[in-house]
Structure 1
Amino acid sequence: MAALGYRKIELAGLFDQDPARVRSMPDALNLQILGSHINWKRLRDDPDGLIEETRILGAEYMILAWLPVEERQTLAQWEAWIEIINDVAARAHQRGIRFAYHNHEFEFEPIDGVEPYGLLIAGVDRRYVSFELDLYWLTLAGRSPEPYFQAYPGGFPLIHAKDMHLQTTAMVDAGDGRIDFPAVLRQSELAGITHLVAEHDVSDQPFRTLRRSLAYFQSLHSQSDPTQRRK
């Protein structure tokens, strides 16, 4: 990844590896760990251990990326998770770590007429909690990002950038599908977007995806920056 031109990476679990050893590998390649996806059980039961692990990794963000079905059946459960998120995010802030919530599609399925994602936006402590918006899952849920950017200005520093096939719901590399990335990036100031994170959950050629995603992001940057177009 470093050889391809990436400068930051995001982790989706440590796979039982020592966090100091994990950090040593990207450090040696001048790669920064932007964020680390955290386990929901440890968030609930061992938050201080998670915060320390994130600190050892040198990650800027600790990111909650999944809640199992049994933990998100009722609005009361969501409200309890919001309390946990706010508490841990405030403690992480004291250690110089930012907290972000990553969506799938289930956050947009109403419970008793209430959308959990809207409940999250309304309930999280905006001093400490940000969002990592996954555009693929948002699109699968039949939503667009603009209303959420308006509801939580500056709250979306991280964007998971994979695309959806033009005719199906299959995942494809960024730029190959129906998601209007230029339209999203035009709202960067409102949304607070600082990072596009290349991702493809089921790519059969991950390094091809990484190369093509980076090239696409660079082309978008050149289109939006007149100084880059002259180079």
Structure 2
Amino acid sequence: MSLPIALQLYSIKDETEKDFTEALRRVAKIGYSGVEFAGYGGLSSSELKALLRELGLKVCGSHVSLDELTKNIDNVIEYNLEIGSPYIICPFATYNSKVDYEEMAQTLNVLALKCSEKGILFGYHNHGHEFQEYQGEYGLDILYKEADAELVKAEIDTYWVQYAGLDPAQYIKKHAGRCDLIHIKDMEIVNGEKRSTEVGNGIMDFKTIIKEAEKQGAKWFIIEQEFFNEPCLKSVEIGYNNLKKLVEDIITDGKIELI
């Protein structure tokens, strides 16, 4: 059985800002199994729960700012419990030193423990700046080393791993056991500049990434895109269809060929 495919709704923020409900309807119509939130369109948890039920969409997780998490974690947990979100993800943080990573890890531990006590899993989503090195060790690796592996999941953004010059599949393997959610974002290089594009239309080796993610126990593939040559809903439809076909193509007798 292949993993379900969700959309990180930040990808279509122009549409969700215009009409959040209609944007979710369009996502469901494309065929996505679920969504990862980056804001809730001003809906109450009960309203959003009803909408998700109507559309047949599952929640794979919610991106919630570090500021909101540290100031309002109890309400964040309550909201996510109501909408059926199994994961709360810290999507971004800034760092100026190795100590910043070590201190951030302890902050994540505290937040993750609160989530765990209520039955919700917690994780951290990377960008590219966490691959600054400190005595030969990447900041992101310091963060994951210092954070409790039983509490803090690693939502690996494969695009940013490749952007930093690393192999995304090997990086997932490096953090085996905590990569439940995998961000699938493709890359194109235009005039020497790296930027995102529709999944399947760029240079990322998603066949290898998918196999390793499945092998290491991933639960969801989450499409994300930030740069568009097409209208955003069209782009994420192209990405969904390409990823779905790619996953299906590497399934043999109902099983992923593990590497």
TM-score, scaled relative to structure 1? 0.89
RMSD: 2.1
Per the TM alignment, residue 190 of structure 1 is displaced from its structure 2 partner at its CA by 4.0
Kept in 1, the 8 Å contact 2:169–2:213? The answer is: no
Give the aligned partner of residue 74 of structure 2.
Answer: 48
- Counterpart CA distance in 2 for 1:81 and 1:43 is 13
Please say if 1:77 is aligned against 2:100: yes
Give the aligned partner of residue 108 of structure 1.
Answer: 131
Kept in 2, the 8 Å contact 1:154–1:190? The answer is: no
What SS does the aligned partner of 1:201 have? coil
Between the two proteins, the alignment pairs up a number of residues equal to 226
Please say if 1:18 is aligned against 2:44: yes
- Counterpart CA distance in 2 for 1:88 and 1:104 is 20
Q: Deviations over 1:78-127 (max 9, x none)?
A: 21211111121122112121111111001101246542111122112121
Give the aligned partner of residue 57 of structure 1.
Answer: 83
- Counterpart CA distance in 2 for 1:227 and 1:215 is 21
Kept in 2, the 8 Å contact 1:2–1:29? The answer is: yes
Gaps of 5+ in 1: none
Structure whose residues are more often strand by fraction: 2
Gaps of 5+ in 2: 1-26, 255-259
- Comparing 86-95 and 183-192, the one that deviates more: 183-192
What SS does the aligned partner of 2:150 have? coil
- Counterpart CA distance in 1 for 2:119 and 2:227 is 33
TM-score, scaled relative to structure 2? 0.80
What SS does the aligned partner of 2:199 have? coil
Per the TM alignment, residue 147 of structure 1 is displaced from its structure 2 partner at its CA by 4.0
Kept in 1, the 8 Å contact 2:172–2:179? The answer is: yes
Over 6 Å off, 4+ runs: none
What does 1:25-40 align with in structure 2 at a 5 Å threshold? 25-40=51-66
User: Which structure carries more relative contact order (alpha carbon 8 Å, separation 6+)?
Assistant: 2
Q: Deviations over 1:115-147 (max 9, x none)?
A: 211112211212122111111111111121244
- Comparing 139-148 and 209-218, the one that deviates more: 139-148
Shift in alpha-carbon separation, 1:111–1:156, aligned structure 2, 3 A: same
Letter in 1 for 2:91: A
What SS does the aligned partner of 1:26 have? helix
- Counterpart CA distance in 1 for 2:183 and 2:214 is 17
- Counterpart CA distance in 2 for 1:149 and 1:2 is 28
Per the TM alignment, residue 158 of structure 1 is displaced from its structure 2 partner at its CA by 1.2
